[in-house]
Structure 1
Amino acid sequence: MEPVFRYRLATRLARKLRAQGHPLPLPALGEALGLRGPVEPVLKPLLDGRFFLAEGVGLWEWRYPFPHPGESLVFLDLETTGLAPGLHEVIELALVRLEGNRRVAFQSLVRPEHPPSPFIQRLTGIRAEELEGAPCLEEVLERAYPLLQGATLVLHNAPFDLGFLRPALEAMGWRLEGPVVDSIPLARRAMRGLKRYGLDALSQVLELPQRREHRALDDVERTLAVVYEVYYMLTSGSPRPLRDLGR
C-alpha cells in the first residue's frame, strides 16, 4: 500500500475513534472504512503509534495529554514579502501558545517598508493597503515576545522563519532562549516514505481542510494539527516532551 494512502486510512480510523470517544473492535472500524469480509489483515497494519490494541482499538491521546505536562509550546508562523531575510520583510506574524489546558492565540499584520509584490498579495490575500495602517515589526514583537518565554518554539521549516525572527529580535536586544522544534523532521520520522513534507502535502495526507490563501494563523493551526498527530505516532504510549522528540 502506498504510504500516502496508508496514512490517510489510519487518520480516518483515528477520526472515527475520536468521534466515538471510546475503543472500538476491529470489525466496527472496518465498517467505518466500508470494508467487507475479514478486516483484521487490512486494519492491523494501519495501526501506527497513535493507536493501542487491547480488547478494542483505542487512542493513546485518551491516556496522556498533549502537550506533555510541564511543557509549554508555541506554534509560530510568518508571512513575508519573499524568501531572503535582510532583503524581504515580514508582513504577518501569528502564534498559538499551549500551556496545559490554556490556549492563547496572537495574530497581527506587520507594516513593511516596501509593499509586497502582486504575487505575494495573491498568495496571501493580504493587500498592500491593509498593511499601511499595520504596526511595524518592532511593535508586533513587543507584544508577541512575552508569549515566547519559557516555551518550546515549534515551526514548520524552522530555518526559514528563524532567518527573519532571530535577527529582528536581536536588533531589539532579545534572544530566543528556549528549544526550537522543526515539524518537518518530526513528520519525516513519523510518516516515512512520503515524497513531500511541505505543509500542504502533509495537510492532504492528514486530510485537513484545503487552504485558499497562505495566512500565518491558518498555517499555525495546520502545523499544530500535524504535530499533534505526529506526536502520538512517535511517542506510541511512551509520553515525553516534544523538545526531546525534536532533538
Structure 2
Amino acid sequence: MLLAPPASDTTPTPVLHQPLFRGLPPHLRTLAFIDLETTGLDASRHEVLEVAVLRVDARSLKVLAEYEARVQPTRLADAHPEALAVCGYSDEEWRDALPLEEALATVTPLLAGTLVAGHNTSFDWGFLVEGYRRAGLPLPGVDYHRLDTASLAWPLFATGEVESLSLNALAKRFGLHRPSPHRAMADARCALEVARCLAVRMARGGHMERLMEESGGVS
C-alpha cells in the first residue's frame, strides 16, 4: 500500500545535517530507492513478484512516500524454484497479490522525476523496464543516471573494510539490522540506510580519502 508520510522505522540511522547536500540541481533532488523480488534472474523470461519504492529527498535522505505490493505472476512454469523459495512465494501468501499493471500504475508517480537508486540497481531497473513493456504502460520519466550503493561502497571493498559488496556485508559493516532479507521493502530500506551511512562518511572526507592515501594517489 501507499504510505505518505512513511511508516516509522526503528533502525538506527546516522545523524544527517539538514540539508546534507546543498548544491544539487532541481532535477536530482529526489531519489527513488527501488527493490524487486522476482521469479528468476532473466528479465526477458521471469517476472516481478514483489515491488517496493521509497521516494526520498536527495538532500536530506529522508523518505517522502513509500509503496510496496506483491505482484501476481502469470507464468509460474518459467519460474526458478530457488527464486521462489528465497522470497517465500506460495499461492496462499500471494492470494491477494495485484496484477502487474495495477502495481505499476501506483509505482509510476513515485518514480516520476527521480534519480533511481538502490543496491545492484541495474537488476531491478531492468525488470521494471520489462514490466512496463509487458503491461503496455509508458515508462516514467526518470534521470538517465542510476545510484547504486554497491558502486558507492567500492572503496570499502578495495581497502578490505568489507568482505564483499553484497547488501548483507554492507549492512553488517554499518551495524544495520535486516529483519526480512529478500523482501522488497526490507531490502529497499536497507539500501537507503547504507546510502545514508556512506553519504555521512563521504561528507566527512571518509573512505575516498583513505583509499587515495593507501593507493598512493591517482596517476
Normalising by structure 1, what TM-score?
0.64
Match of 1:216 in 2: 184
| Contact in 1 for aligned 2:157/2:165 (Cα 8 Å) | no
User: Percent identity of the aligned residues?
Assistant: 29
Match of 1:113 in 2: 74
Match of 1:98 in 2: 56
Corresponding letter in the other structure for 1:90: V
| Contact in 2 for aligned 1:121/1:128 (Cα 8 Å) | no
Where does structure 2 lack aligned partners over 5 or more consecutive residues? 1-11, 206-219
Corresponding letter in the other structure for 2:46: H
Identify if the C-alpha distance between structure 1 residues 169 and 123 changes in structure 2 by more than 3 Å, giving closer, same or farther.
same
Identify if the C-alpha distance between structure 1 residues 208 and 102 changes in structure 2 by more than 3 Å, giving closer, same or farther.
closer
Q: Alpha-carbon deviation of 1:66?
A: 4.4
- 1:129-187 Cα offsets, whole Å, 9 max, x none, are 33243111111111111111121110211221122111222442324432321111111
Larger CA Rg, structure 1 vs 2:
1
SS in 2 for 1:150: coil
Match of 1:177 in 2: 142
Match of 1:245 in 2: none
Match of 2:19 in 1: 65
| Contact in 1 for aligned 2:37/2:184 (Cα 8 Å) | yes
Partners of 2:141 and 2:119 in 1: CA distance: 17
RMSD after superposition: 2.6
Normalising by structure 2, what TM-score?
0.71
| Contact in 1 for aligned 2:111/2:140 (Cα 8 Å) | no
Partners of 1:67 and 1:168 in 2: CA distance: 33
Corresponding letter in the other structure for 1:219: D
Identify if the C-alpha distance between structure 1 residues 97 and 67 changes in structure 2 by more than 3 Å, giving closer, same or farther.
farther
Q: Alpha-carbon deviation of 1:128?
A: 2.6
Identify if the C-alpha distance between structure 1 residues 210 and 146 changes in structure 2 by more than 3 Å, giving closer, same or farther.
closer
Identify if the C-alpha distance between structure 1 residues 190 and 117 changes in structure 2 by more than 3 Å, giving closer, same or farther.
closer
Q: Alpha-carbon deviation of 1:98?
A: 1.7
Corresponding letter in the other structure for 2:19: P
SS in 2 for 1:128: coil
Identify if the C-alpha distance between structure 1 residues 203 and 192 changes in structure 2 by more than 3 Å, giving closer, same or farther.
same
Identify if the C-alpha distance between structure 1 residues 206 and 149 changes in structure 2 by more than 3 Å, giving closer, same or farther.
same
Q: Alpha-carbon deviation of 1:236?
A: 2.5
| Contact in 2 for aligned 1:92/1:107 (Cα 8 Å) | yes
SS in 1 for 2:124: helix
Partners of 1:211 and 1:80 in 2: CA distance: 19
Corresponding letter in the other structure for 2:55: R
Structure holding more helix per residue: 1
SS in 2 for 1:129: coil
Partners of 1:66 and 1:118 in 2: CA distance: 43
Match of 1:234 in 2: 202
Partners of 2:202 and 2:157 in 1: CA distance: 9
Match of 1:79 in 2: 37
